[in-house]
């Protein structure tokens, strides 16, 4: 029996909002996955010539005015605009009218590694050109990490718990996990949960380039993000946002909501080892997965699909493979596993939320996307059943989604297929 079934508070996903390099909205994301093409290309948002890496996964054709009033939009930077847009999408997908709900029981829980850094960089350049008179007075209200979740709450009138974590590349997953816990623990009935990231600005991008963490496959960008592949040479930075509409199960059923999936477990740990290198034995990454399973009251034997963090870096991929084998033993070689960042790069704090959306849709639609650009599995990443080619069609019941970040942050979410 699931822990949530025992305790009486189960949490379901009723809405998905997302803006990604491969598509917008739940259907756009799903169609982008089926196209099986990478969205990575040359950077157009700024001049990347000074850097070793000159490629990224940019979001094409995002028009925030589709979702946000033009007067309101003037007070938002790209980071907050992405968040408010996906919040609107998630509410629409869920078919929920916030005005009919108890606003005090409606939460916003988000994550972002860098928050409003893109706007801050632009304003610093304005300051250097024109002094304080050249700086947009909205700077102080847009640069902090919590600006996006606050703007979402203002836009929709959610007066329940509101928080944004900044736990590097695990932030979006932790946002989803925090929303899940608020509802399960009877502190909210509804939560918009996930992450947003707008990191494509010269200084921020250059900082990662200096670390030599990113791929330099500039002449072949679509093949640059290649999780678990022998020839990977680093991650590809991306941008985007995703929020899930989480609801207490009875609340969702009472209003006749369509349910994508159930969230039933969350675990997070810290390596306490190094700021950029994962713990070599993968012990804490494995413990995060075990905690998510224990949180749901189930064993590793129930997991039918894993969406791996799969960052395409030299150190992270083999460590994650080791952690997965540690949790699942020989069965790891039979569990279909995807590293989907080959599609849309690594949107830092938003990645875990985008992947939570992918897992929710995959469980509902019985198709699991491939790991793009996986030509030859690195020997250090062996022992896994990594999906390639056209993806895999099967009916899974439980799925794990992993997210790991700088600072040794590990997070795992467990989802369950929804049966009416």
Cite the active site residues: 169, 309, 346
Burial degree of 330 (CB within 10 A; 0-12, 13-18, 19+)? exposed
Give the integer Cα–Cα distance in Å for 208 and 218: 15
Please name the residue ranges forming H helices in 185-315. Answer: 202-210, 249-254, 283-296
> Integer distance in angstroms from the first to the last C-alpha of the chain?
17
Give the integer Cα–Cα distance in Å for 48 and 206: 8
Quick one: the chain helix, strand, coil %, rounded to 5? 40, 20, 35
Paired residues of 24 in beta bridges: 19
Contact indicator for 326, 288 with CB cutoff of 8 Å: no
Buried b (16+ CB within 10 A) or exposed e, 21-40: bbbbbbeebbebbeeeebbb
Give 171's contacts (C-beta < 8 A, 6+ positions apart): 110, 111, 112, 113, 165, 195, 348, 349, 350, 352, 405
């Amino acid at each position: 029996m699931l822990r949530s079934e025992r305790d009486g508070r189960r949490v379901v996903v009723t809405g998905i909002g997302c803006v990604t390099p491969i598509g917008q909205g739940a259907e756009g994301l799903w169609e982008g996955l089926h196209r099986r093409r990478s969205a990575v290309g040359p950077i157009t948002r700024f001049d990347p010539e000074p850097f070793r890496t000159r490629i990224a996964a940019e979001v094409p054709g995002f028009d925030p005015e589709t979702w946000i009033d033009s007067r309101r939009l003037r007070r938002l930077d790209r980071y907050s605009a992405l968040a408010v847009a996906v919040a609107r999408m998630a509410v629409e997908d869920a078919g929920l009218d916030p005005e009919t709900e108890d606003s005090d029981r409606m939460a916003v829980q988000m994550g972002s590694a860098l928050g409003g850094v893109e706007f801050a960089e632009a304003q610093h350049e304005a300051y250097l050109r024109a002094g304080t008179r050249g700086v947009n007075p909205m700077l102080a209200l847009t640069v902090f990490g919590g600006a996006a979740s606050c703007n979402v709450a203002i836009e929709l009138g959610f007066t329940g718990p509101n928080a944004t974590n900044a736990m590097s590349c695990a932030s979006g997953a932790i946002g989803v996990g925090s929303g899940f816990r608020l509802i399960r623990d009877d502190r909210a009935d509804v939560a918009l949960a996930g992450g947003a990231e707008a990191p494509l600005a010269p200084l921020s991008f250059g900082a990662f380039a200096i670390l030599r963490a990113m791929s330099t496959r500039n002449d072949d960008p679509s093949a640059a993000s290649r999780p678990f592949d022998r020839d990977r040479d680093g991650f590809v930075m991306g941008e985007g946002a995703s929020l899930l509409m989480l609801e207490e199960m009875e609340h969702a059923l009472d209003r006749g909501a369509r349910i994508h999936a159930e969230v039933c477990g969350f675990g997070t740990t810290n390596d306490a080892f190094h700021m950029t290198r994962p713990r070599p034995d993968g012990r804490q990454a494995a413990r995060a997965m075990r905690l998510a399973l224990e949180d749901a009251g189930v064993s590793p034997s129930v997991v039918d699909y894993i969406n791996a963090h799969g960052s395409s870096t030299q150190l992270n991929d083999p460590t994650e493979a080791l952690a997965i084998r540690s949790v699942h033993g020989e069965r790891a070689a039979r569990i279909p596993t995807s590293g989907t960042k080959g599609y849309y790069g690594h949107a830092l704090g938003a990645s875990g939320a985008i992947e939570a959306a992918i897992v929710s849709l995959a469980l509902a639609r019985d198709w699991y996307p491939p790991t793009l650009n996986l030509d030859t599995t690195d020997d250090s990443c062996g022992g896994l059943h990594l999906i390639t080619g056209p993806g895999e069609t099967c009916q899974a019941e439980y799925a794990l989604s992993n997210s790991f970040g700088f600072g040794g942050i590990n997070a795992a979410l467990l989802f369950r297929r929804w049966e009416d």
